[in-house]
Amino acid sequence: MAGEGLDLKFWGTRGSLPTASPEHSEFGGCTMCVELRFGEAVIFFDAGSGLPFAGKELWAEGRRDFHIFFTHGHYDHIMGLPFFLPVYKPETRLTMWSGHLGPGGTTAEMVADFMRQPFFPVGPEVFKAKVEMRDFNAGDTLTPVEGLTMRTAMLNHPGGAVGYRVECAGKIIAMVFDTEHEPGQVDPVVLDLMRGADLVLYDSNFTDAEFDCFRTFGHSTWQEGIRLAKAAGAKRIAFVHHSTFRTDAELLEIETEAQRLFPGAFCARDFQVVSV
């Protein structure tokens, strides 16, 4: 992961529930976690079950400074946090951010609510790292690292979820992990995040054929992702938040069909690195 521009690594691309089976070996079964590397900064989007693998590797590489930007606190986006080993090392500096909770809700409360009995044996007081919890409001523009700007927006998801538009080194990446669309309507919020993006990561939990059955679950389809990417003039789109049940064979089929419609489309795989 080196280079002039932005490097992105998918540590977890599955939605809802981690999975492991011979039929999930190519794409992987870890839930959402994406790393963005910009200079010395390591920025994660979400702390799903892919995060522990990132923690092990990056610690060995000598990385000690981390940011985690949560899209929201659903289990598939936070479950890896207590297993992120750098958080048990005093040398680590970790800043966690969230902006989906609205007035009164804080990142610190979200983490404490997640790590507590009877659901979890210990609370966040076991962390040894220098941990900072930051709150923002969806809609804010953030500059967590010099030279890197993030625009944020609230997506259509039960309980809220934040979409991010990262602008850095002359490149644009849009992160739209959990969002539901209205069939026949282009979501203006998502369109705005994606406009002219070099790479879009989009909630492709369902297919158009499945979508009617799962309205209100808060997710979208890979076909809608392509419609949006075309409307927004985006260059590439990575499908993420794959359904737990989607097999390697099914994802390969989706990828082939998607590339006929939009050559810059692909199904993201766990541990895949993409240079933007």
Closer of 35 and 203 to Zn ion (Cβ): 203
Neighbours of 64 (CB within 10 A): 17
CB of 186 to Zn ion, least distance (A): 22
**Structure token digits, residue 44:** 């994660």
Q: Where are the alpha helices (DSSP H) in 2-136?
A: 51-60, 75-78, 107-114
- DSSP label at 80? T
Q: Which of 135, 178, 180, 187 binds Zn ion (CB under 5 A)?
A: 178
Could you identify the residue written with the tokens 């040398």?
Answer: 91
Give yes or no for residue 76 binding Zn ion (CB under 5 A).
yes
Give yes or no for residue 203 binding Zn ion (CB under 5 A).
no
Instruction: Choose the stretch contacting Zn ion; rule: CB under 5 A; options: 48-56, 76-84, 106-114, 138-146.
Output: 76-84
Strand pairing class (148-155; 161-168): antiparallel
Phi, psi of 175 (to 5 degrees): -110, 110
Burial of 62 (C-beta count, 10 Å sphere; 0-12/13-18/19+) = exposed
CB of 229 to Zn ion, least distance (A): 20
Nearest residue to Zn ion by CB is 74
CB of 62 to Zn ion, least distance (A): 31
Give yes or no for residue 46 binding Zn ion (CB under 5 A).
no
CB of 193 to Zn ion, least distance (A): 17
Closer of 9 and 74 to Zn ion (Cβ): 74
Closer of 92 and 179 to Zn ion (Cβ): 179
Give yes or no for residue 74 binding Zn ion (CB under 5 A).
yes
Strand (E) or helix (H) holding 176: strand 171-176
List residues binding Zn ion (CB under 5 A).
15, 74, 76, 178
